[in-house]
Amino acid sequence: MNSLDEKDRKILEILQENALTPVAEIAAKVGLSTTPCWRRIQKLEEEGVIRKRVALLDRHKLNVGVTVFVAVKAKRHAMEWLNEFKRAVETIPEIVEAYRLSGEVDYLLRVVVPDIKAYDEVYKRLIEKVEFTDVSSSFAMEDMKFTTTLPLKYLVG
């Protein structure tokens, strides 16, 4: 990927805020005409800088307002177990994020559910599919910051 200039950064900033912003409006904000702006957006998509455009939904209005962070310690450290765990995570829609970590905890999951009972059902589905050494759950009490906007100041350019 070629380095991104200030116009590319501004385009990304605008699209992160609202992916439905019309190209003409983006072009005006970054000081380009519509066609060159559209070409830049297409290039950013082709290079994978823009992976996809999505709608962000209100989880409270969809009755999944409870966030649970689940710390998992693996039963064993082997590719077979890891692949089994990945498959299990992918089949449970309430698990919206999953990370492999260094340190005391091997994996961290973010789960969204309507209540504790629903989380217990997710937990049971998970342990039915994979064996763990330990699973520890923490319920979020407050969303202090939640964003999908990535910092752009680290771009090489």
Ordered by where they begin, the domains of the chain are: 6-46 (1.10.10.10), 66-139 (3.30.70.920)
pLDDT reported for residue 157? 60
Instruction: Give me the pLDDT at residue 3, please.
Output: 79
Q: How far apart are CA 119 and CA 113, in angstroms?
A: 6
Helices (H), 18-143: 23-30, 34-46, 79-90, 116-129
pLDDT block averages, 10 residues each, the chain of length 157: 84 96 98 97 96 94 98 92 95 98 96 98 96 95 94 82
pTM summary value: 0.88
